Structure 1
Amino acid sequence: MRLYYHPASTTSRIVQLFAMDQGIDLEYRVVDLFTGEHLKPDYARINPNCLVPVLEDGDFRLTECSAIVKYLADKAGSSAYPKELKERARVNEMMDWFNSNIYRDFAYGMVYPQTFPHHVRPSEAVQAGTLDWGKQKTQSWLKILDASLIGPNKAYLCGDKITLADYMGAEMIALGGLVGCSFSAYPNVERWLNNMRALKCWPKVHEAIDGFAASLKEKSFVTI
């Protein structure tokens, strides 16, 4: 199986972190987002959305990181995607929560507009308003995540065992490192994130994005 990805892509790292932690063998093919390779006709034929990641399994292609990790988990028989109906529904619920709520406001409303030029808004006023809105909404989501979704007694999002929701959620929250976010005000979030950072493959998966973060450390950001 081949994964078209880029290490600066949050959604790519979700798939990479899960696959490496679970020992799923993939052929990794970098699509260079910074040179616009994803916008060229050759890649558009692979994914008309011109986005990463894409999984190729023989003549079967799959886009969207959530669908990809579910497919890989089922194919590998991973316990990270439970078979029992209600347990699986809870994992799906948490994955949808991250995708539909906090990732939208945190990444696209706060982090990406400050770190990637193509996400910068067209005027200073619009940029400032976007960042202020994104920060306020993110703080509200973090309170819910900390107090209600994780709470003080769970090691992972759905209980005491790691699931697909953790691989997805951890990457979306750890993205805050690009702008120097601190989650100390959300101790359950911070504890859970530290559990994920303890995975043996975490440093390897994050080599590129950590290097990018280091290159930004002298800049001033709207942060949490």
Structure 2
Amino acid sequence: MKVYCHPVSTTSRIVMLYAAQEAPELEFQLVDLLSGEHLKPPYAAINPNCLVPVLEDGDFRLTESSTILKYLADLNGSPSYPTDLRQRARVNEMMDWFNTNLYRDLAYGLVYPQVFSQHRRPSPEVQAATLAWAKEKAKGWLAILDGHLIGANKRYLCGDTITLADYLGAEVVGLGELIRCNYSAYANVERWLQTMKALPSWPKVHEAFDGFAGSLKDTRFVAI
């Protein structure tokens, strides 16, 4: 099986982190986002969305990171995607929560418009309003994540063992490091994120991301 990806891509790192921990047999094919390879016809033929990641299993392809995780976990019989109906539903709920709530406002509202030119708003006034709105919305989601979804007594998002929701959620929250977000006001979030960062595979998976963040160290950002 092959995964088309780029390590600076948040959605790619979701799959890369899971694979490094649980599916090391996967082959990774770099798609150079910085040169625009994902927009060219050869890659568009693989994924007409022109996005990463893509999982290729023979003649079968999947294009959404959340679905890719679930497919791989089912193939491997991974305990990180439990078979108990209610436990699995809780994992699915958490994954959907990140994708539809925090990721939308933190990534597309706050981080990406400041880091990637194609996401920048058309005028300084619109850019400033977008960032202000997204910052407040993201803070609200983080407060919910901290006080209600993680809380003080859980090691991981769905209990005491790691699940697919943790792989996905940690990359969404960790994205804030590109603009130097400070999560100290969210003690449970910070504790959980540090638990995820202690995974043996975390440093290797994040080498390119950390390098990219380092290249932005002198840039001023609106951040949490």
Question: Do they superpose with TM above 0.5?
Answer: yes
Aligned to 1:45, the other structure's residue is in SS state helix
Deviation sequence 1:59-113 (CA, Å, 0-9, x none): 1111100000000000011000000000000000000000000000000000011
2:206 and 2:43 mapped to 1: Cα distance?
24
Give the superposition deviation at 1:18: 0.3
1:50-199 pair list within 5 angstroms: 50-199=50-199
Deviation sequence 1:181-211 (CA, Å, 0-9, x none): 1110000000000000000000000000100
Give the superposition deviation at 1:23: 3.6
TM-score, normalization: structure 2?
0.99
After TM superposition, what 4+ stretches of structure 1 lie above 6 angstroms from structure 2? none
Aligned to 2:212, the other structure's residue is in SS state helix
Q: Which amino acid aligns with 2:94?
A: M
Q: Which amino acid aligns with 2:33?
A: L
- Structure 1 residue 26 corresponds to structure 2 residue 26: yes
TM-score, normalization: structure 1?
0.99
Deviation sequence 1:7-64 (CA, Å, 0-9, x none): 1100000000001111431111000111111111111110011110000011111110
Q: Which amino acid aligns with 1:110?
A: L
Aligned to 1:38, the other structure's residue is in SS state helix
Kept in 2, the 8 Å contact 1:183–1:189? The answer is: yes
Aligned to 1:105, the other structure's residue is in SS state helix
Kept in 2, the 8 Å contact 1:12–1:65? The answer is: yes
Deviation sequence 1:151-205 (CA, Å, 0-9, x none): 0000000000000000000000000000001110000000000000000000000
Give the superposition deviation at 1:117: 1.0
Aligned to 1:19, the other structure's residue is in SS state helix
Give the superposition deviation at 1:131: 0.2
Partner of 1:17: 17
Partner of 1:201: 201
What is the aligned-residue identity percentage? 67
Q: Which runs of 5+ in 1 are unaligned?
A: none
2:131 and 2:97 mapped to 1: Cα distance?
21
Q: Which runs of 5+ in 2 are unaligned?
A: none
Deviation sequence 1:100-139 (CA, Å, 0-9, x none): 0000000000001111111111100000000000100000
Partner of 1:4: 4
C-alpha root-mean-square deviation of aligned residues, in Å?
0.6
- Structure 1 residue 217 corresponds to structure 2 residue 212: no
2:123 and 2:70 mapped to 1: Cα distance?
40
Kept in 2, the 8 Å contact 1:55–1:63? The answer is: yes
Partner of 1:42: 42
1:187 and 1:11 mapped to 2: Cα distance?
25
